[in-house]
């Protein structure tokens, strides 16, 4: 067995031991096709007011600009699916990924452990870990590595595990054995396109982020939300899971086994009235270790008021 294949097999075994669902590896090279698509997407203002998307274009498409001498991109997925739900059907809703602790911290800890293990096994390796924390086109790399395919809702889908998972990467200067992309299994299905209440998925495989409920409730920092979308949020106050909920592939999803992602009973049992009466102290206590902190108390209150 070659050293590159030996190291690759070790990395994949170790990733599963650390709790990752999938691990695939692709060659670190410039993403030329994706670069053309991203440039067009930005020029059409599909990013809305997410001006950070305009920064570091060269780093987004070329991994050697993030890690000098990069040879490989290790792509990983981490399951967050839970069958636990908010108990009040009238309560404003939170996207599933944000029901537990902040994934940036939880996943990064395991990612750092994996990189340490690689260095123990392979020697001095120059590498960096990424969990939605730098200009990395994570879905493009995950697709290239064979973890899954980018579906019509523009999420990464896997045939046996659906799409309820976080993506993470390790870019490093180590030659490894590279995987191949997998088939697209979306077929003729357009449920995600048909179900989007704001027409953010304006055609299969194309997303206008500036019309997405997740964009409005998390990314947009304006004091007021656009009037033309009143009544179209389907009661989502933080994020949105509609295009995942209607996806037939997600019938394969299985609950995660990560204690940090378990939603608290206090959060799940909040009634509609309790959300409307939420104080800033209550917000800080409830979301102390949560990604929901990103929207801040004022942002969440704005979202809840918009749903009335």
Spatial separation of the C-alpha atoms in residues 274 and 277, rounded to whole Å = 5
Sheet bearing 22-27, strands edge to edge: 22-27, 72-79, 165-172, 127-130
> Do 166 and 131 meet the contact criterion of CB atoms below 8 Å apart?
yes
- The pTM of the whole model exceeds 0.85: yes
Active-site position among 58, 83, 102, 132: 132
Question: Does residue 222 carry a catalytic annotation?
Answer: no
**Long-range CB contacts for residues 272-276, cutoff 8 Å, separation at least 24:** 272/88, 272/90, 272/91, 272/92, 274/91, 275/91, 275/92, 275/237, 275/304, 276/304, 276/308
- Closest Cα partner for 34 from 205, 161, 190, 199? 205
Please identify which residue in the block is written with the tokens 């000098």. 68
- Which structure tokens are listed for 269? 């049992």
Predicted confidence at residue 134, as pLDDT, reads 84
pLDDT, average across residues 116-122: 95
- How many residues make up the chain in this entry? 308
- Closest Cα partner for 133 from 175, 153, 103? 103
Predicted confidence at residue 271, as pLDDT, reads 98
Spatial separation of the C-alpha atoms in residues 163 and 88, rounded to whole Å = 25
Kindly report the backbone phi and psi dihedral angles of residue 172, in degrees, each rounded to the nearest multiple of 5, phi listed first: -150, 165
Least confidently predicted of 130-134, 149-153, 225-229: 130-134
Predicted confidence at residue 308, as pLDDT, reads 82
Helices 3-17 and 103-122, axial angle in degrees (round to 10): 150
- Which structure tokens are listed for 134? 């730098």
Predicted confidence at residue 181, as pLDDT, reads 96
- Give the tens place of pLDDT for each residue, 150-183: 999 999 999 888 999 999 999 999 999 999 999 9
Query: What residues contact 85, with CB distance under 8 A and at least 6 apart?
Result: 268
Split at pLDDT 50, 70, 90, the class of 1 is low
The single-letter DSSP state of residue 295 is: G
- Give the tens place of pLDDT for each residue, 88-116: 999 999 999 999 999 999 999 999 999 99
Q: What angle do CA 56, 48, 98 make, to 5 degrees?
A: 85
The single-letter DSSP state of residue 176 is: -
Split at pLDDT 50, 70, 90, the class of 78 is very high
- Give the tens place of pLDDT for each residue, 257-302: 999 999 999 999 999 999 999 999 999 999 999 999 999 999 999 9
């Amino acid at each position: 067995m070659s050293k590159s294949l030996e190291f690759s097999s070790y990395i994949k075994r170790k990733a599963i031991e650390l709790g990752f669902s999938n691990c695939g590896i692709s060659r670190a090279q410039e993403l030329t096709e994706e670069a053309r698509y991203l440039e067009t997407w930005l020029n059409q203002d599909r990013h809305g007011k997410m001006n950070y998307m305009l920064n570091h274009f060269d780093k987004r498409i070329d991994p050697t600009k993030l890690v000098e001498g990069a040879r490989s991109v290790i792509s990983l997925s981490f399951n967050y699916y839970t069958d636990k739900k908010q108990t009040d059907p009238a309560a404003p809703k939170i996207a599933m990924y944000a029901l537990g602790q902040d994934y940036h911290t939880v996943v990064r800890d395991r990612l750092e452990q994996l990189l340490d293990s690689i260095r123990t096994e392979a020697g001095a390796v120059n590498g960096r870990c990424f969990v939605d924390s730098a200009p990395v086109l994570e879905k493009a790399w995950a697709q290239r590595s064979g973890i899954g395919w980018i579906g019509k809702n523009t999420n990464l889908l896997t045939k046996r595990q659906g799409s309820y998972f976080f993506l993470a990467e390790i870019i490093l200067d180590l030659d490894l054995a590279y995987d191949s992309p997998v088939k697209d299994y979306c077929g003729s299905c357009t449920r995600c396109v048909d179900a989007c209440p704001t027409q953010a998925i304006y055609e299969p495989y194309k997303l206008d982020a500036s019309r997405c409920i997740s964009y409005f409730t998390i990314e947009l920092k304006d004091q007021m939300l656009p009037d033309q979308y009143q009544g179209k949020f389907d009661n989502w106050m933080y994020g949105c899971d509609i295009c995942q909920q209607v996806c037939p592939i997600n019938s394969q999803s299985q609950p995660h086994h990560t204690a940090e992602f378990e939603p608290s009973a206090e959060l799940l049992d909040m009634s509609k009235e309790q959300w409307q009466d939420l104080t800033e102290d209550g917000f800080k206590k409830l979301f102390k270790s949560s990604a929901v902190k990103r929207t801040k108390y004022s942002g969440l209150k704005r979202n809840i008021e918009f749903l009335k």
